[in-house]
Structure 1
Amino acid sequence: MSSAARRLHLSVLTSNAGLPLEPRMRCPETAESESLRWSEALRAWIVLGHEDVTGCLRDSRLGTCRVDFHEAPLQGPGEELLQAFRKSVSPRSEDGRELMCLRRQAAPGFSPEALDAWRPAITRLARHLVTRVRDQGRMDAVRALTCILPALVLAEVLGIPERDREGFLAWARAIADVQAPAADLDGGTLARHALLATREFLDYLGPLLAERRRTPGEDLLSRMLQVQPPGAVSPEQRVSHIALLLLSGLSSFADQLGNGLHELWIHPARFQRLQADPSRVRGAVEEVLRLSPAVPVLQRTVLETFSLRGKTLRKGEPVLLCLSSANRDASVFSEPECFDLDRDSARQKHLSLGFGLHYRLDAGLVKHTLKALIEVVLEELPGARLDEERASRLKRPGLHARGFESLPVRW
């Protein structure tokens, strides 16, 4: 990668509008000296290379202590609301021992066997949404598919009774809205709605978990309750915590579905190749995750001063881990800009869903849902293409999320 290209890449990262706005953050052949940079504009360290991003995700000296989803939208309405939110969702650290306990609690619910058991239901839900619009000839794929399907899938795997699903979907919408607000919506109002939704969901979940404890089924909640880890925190508390994490992750889940479809539609040859050979959808899922992650950047905070690449990272300084840049590191990915259905994803591992202890709990569910949606669209809407009369529109740009507000399609 040339020096000019590196400078251009870094100028995108440190633009006044934030990081990352450019949907394709490129950093192939990142030199050691370029892999870690201090940005005066962002007042943060920026980590670009795959090796260093992976190392930072492992490093216990970088912390992720925070309350559930985003506190930033809650700060405008005042400290009283923020404190109320913190009481509704117990403050926690996602590092170390507690994160290991959470993952152990969640493991039975996200085993390969459990995910395979839910595959028919996920496909059924995707097909229901697609066939509902099939005769219309055009749609906004965000409104018709991607913003709806993740919540439906989560309701299904959690085993939310049919009579309660409308309320569950309303809670999901309120929490998603505060995570990725439209430009014309008031942040304070969204924050209050999200706070109320969080409280109502947790109040609802308590009796439901007690019922699943008495009469367990094959749903996610029942499976997670099987684990009895030692310590003062009960399985019910941890499962509630995990369920809220899953609910608060629906916005990025939806964004990832939209990004995946867009990656296929923006290059019609990819879509046609998969139509000719649907068995290659699994490889396509890994490539669209690598090339267009819904969470292109993760933020960390330095917990204790240490050195990296000859530079001193001081306690309290923010660190931005650029997953989308690491996913294009030519030292790991051969022809990193190429959409390669034959890429060995076990050897060339993208970081779009995290890594190690910080691998998304619902990563398998995201992959299964994206695969099912692509398969159903290929089958039911073989002529689907981006609508040349209406432009796609990204959401409000920001540091930690990339997704579409509108994705018009016709067939």
Structure 2
Amino acid sequence: MSSAAQKLQLNPVSPENLLDPTPLYQVLRHNVPVYWSDAVNAWFLTRYDDVVASFRDPRLSADRVGFFEAQLQGLNLEAIRKFVDTFRRQMVQKDGMEHLRQRRQVSPSFSPQALDVWRPIIRRIADSLVDRVQDWRRMELVREIAYPLPQLVIAELLGIPAEDRERFCGWSKPIAEFSAPTANSDRLEVARRANTAVEEFSEYLTRVIAERRQAPGRDVLSRMIQAGGMSDEELVANAILMLFAGHTTTTDQISNLFHELLMHPEQFQKLREDRGLIPSAVEESIRFRPAVPSILRIAKETFQLRGRTIRKGDMVFLMLGAANRDPEVFPDAERFDITRDHVHQKHVSFGFGAHHCLGSGVARRELEIILEVMLDRMPGLRLEEGHLPEHKCHHLTFRGFDSLRVRW
């Protein structure tokens, strides 16, 4: 192992590596691309080719329910029974034909053509959020823009009435807190709050589904019901998945996008001069600083990878953030470049293959539209002096900002 690797603390969840994992990514890719961490009791894969191959590998399962149950080891599992039962029914926990069966019921609503119908609605929501803060001349971007935008978009997609949206938005936070707990949190209390949120949301959605069966609309939930391939329990579980996954990750990616542009003013200026670069700028932010830097798989059998023995039941983290900066795939990978060729150099931030994120099209449209709106209406956007960004980096799964203060 190189001297750089020997000097670097290889614990993936050390405060230093959570704050800035880039040096760790580089050392692991070069020296131990299949790395066992005693600190996490899991394997870490950091090379692009290995990550892509692992998404295809039937020996690695997407069923991670046991991982969440393990977070409550030694505590009363009944405290989170509803959460676990709902989580188990979601398509992201399924493999093979069972995953395909559920995905087929949902995917027509997320085709490019179907999603383009929602562009004016996303634009209206983005404009309304900017309208509220326009005259302030400064704001905390996460609270005012990044956090509410995805929630409101998902509420529109699912056809949640305006009077119910405050409750709808309130259910997302405790679910996210349990899925990525802070180091010093009370595990049992966090679990109970998440379980309560899932119980309340499930009761609400059950009523909505019954109503939509009688009077379907044009929303995604109505289309899922009309597809006819899911039970009510599966419909509820996957609607909760859309709220949680679509809200938490897109919130983080919006903050990541603006942080990188504001930290690279020469890139931001290119964007101001050429709006045609907006899609490319969005893709580069997703590659360079993904909201989900890793995704977990569970070994279904024992097998060898690069001379290392991965045993049945082992946890395997596919390090998307590391794969996205693999110099064998991305030239000058450590440079943030909004003109990068993303057609031939595809990042894996949304996964790969059968488990490619179904909501990626929604997220891309939200990112592109909010960027366009803020370029139009806040041309002097910059970081506010004297207020350092507050990183959200306490967990392997999610990465963004708790606070990003800007002015214009």
Q: TM-score, normalised by structure 1?
A: 0.89
**Alignment check: 8 A CA contact 1:181 1:396 kept:** no
Matched, 1:329 2:329: no
| Helix, strand or coil at the partner of 2:379 | coil
Match of 1:240 among 222, 236, 250: 236
Task: Name the structure 1 match of 2:354.
Answer: 357
- Amino acid of the residue matched to residue 226 of structure 2? Q
**Alignment check: 8 A CA contact 2:79 2:188 kept:** no
Per-residue Cα deviation, 1:56-115 (whole angstroms, up to 9, x for no partner): 111111122234995566557632203343345545642112211121111111011121
Deviates more, 1:180-189 or 1:294-303: 180-189
| Helix, strand or coil at the partner of 2:119 | helix
Task: Name the structure 1 match of 2:382.
Answer: 385
Q: Distance in 2 between matches of 1:343 and 1:294?
A: 19
Matched, 1:372 2:369: yes
**Alignment check: 8 A CA contact 2:89 2:237 kept:** no
| Helix, strand or coil at the partner of 2:402 | strand
- Amino acid of the residue matched to residue 61 of structure 1? R
Higher relative contact order by CA 8 Å / sep ≥ 6: 1 or 2?
A: 1
Q: TM-score, normalised by structure 2?
A: 0.90
- In the TM superposition, 1:3-402 aligns within 5 A as 3-4=2-3, 11=9, 14=12, 16-17=14-15, 20-22=18-20, 24=22, 27=25, 34-67=32-65, 70-71=68-69, 78-87=76-85, 89-90=87-88, 93-180=93-180, 186-229=186-229, 233-234=230-231, 236-249=232-245, 250-402=247-399
Q: Which runs of 5+ in 1 are unaligned?
A: none
**Alignment check: 8 A CA contact 1:13 1:20 kept:** no
Inter-CA distance 7–384: structure 2 relative to 1 (3 Å threshold): farther
Deviates more, 1:19-28 or 1:396-405: 19-28
| Helix, strand or coil at the partner of 1:404 | strand
Q: Distance in 2 between matches of 1:374 and 1:68?
A: 39
Inter-CA distance 77–36: structure 2 relative to 1 (3 Å threshold): closer
**Alignment check: 8 A CA contact 2:80 2:195 kept:** no
Deviation of 1:181 (Å): 5.3
Per-residue Cα deviation, 1:225-271 (whole angstroms, up to 9, x for no partner): 33234xxx53x443322211112212222111111111111112222
**Alignment check: 8 A CA contact 2:60 2:297 kept:** yes
Per-residue Cα deviation, 1:28-83 (whole angstroms, up to 9, x for no partner): 79878632222333332221100001111111111222349955665576322033
Deviation of 1:351 (Å): 0.7
Deviates more, 1:63-72 or 1:172-181: 63-72
Inter-CA distance 129–332: structure 2 relative to 1 (3 Å threshold): same
Inter-CA distance 4–333: structure 2 relative to 1 (3 Å threshold): farther
**Alignment check: 8 A CA contact 1:302 1:315 kept:** yes
**Alignment check: 8 A CA contact 1:256 1:293 kept:** yes
TM-align CA RMSD: 2.7
Q: Which runs of 5+ in 2 are unaligned?
A: none
Per-residue Cα deviation, 1:90-145 (whole angstroms, up to 9, x for no partner): 45642112211121111111011121011111111112112211211211111111
| Helix, strand or coil at the partner of 1:352 | coil
| Helix, strand or coil at the partner of 1:225 | helix
Q: Distance in 2 between matches of 1:347 and 1:13?
A: 33
Q: Report which of the two has the higher share of helix.
A: 2
Q: Distance in 2 between matches of 1:208 and 1:132?
A: 30
Inter-CA distance 278–403: structure 2 relative to 1 (3 Å threshold): same
Deviates more, 1:239-248 or 1:104-113: 239-248
- Amino acid of the residue matched to residue 116 of structure 2? D
**Alignment check: 8 A CA contact 1:73 1:188 kept:** no
Q: Distance in 2 between matches of 1:76 and 1:140?
A: 39
| Helix, strand or coil at the partner of 2:375 | helix
Deviation of 1:394 (Å): 1.2
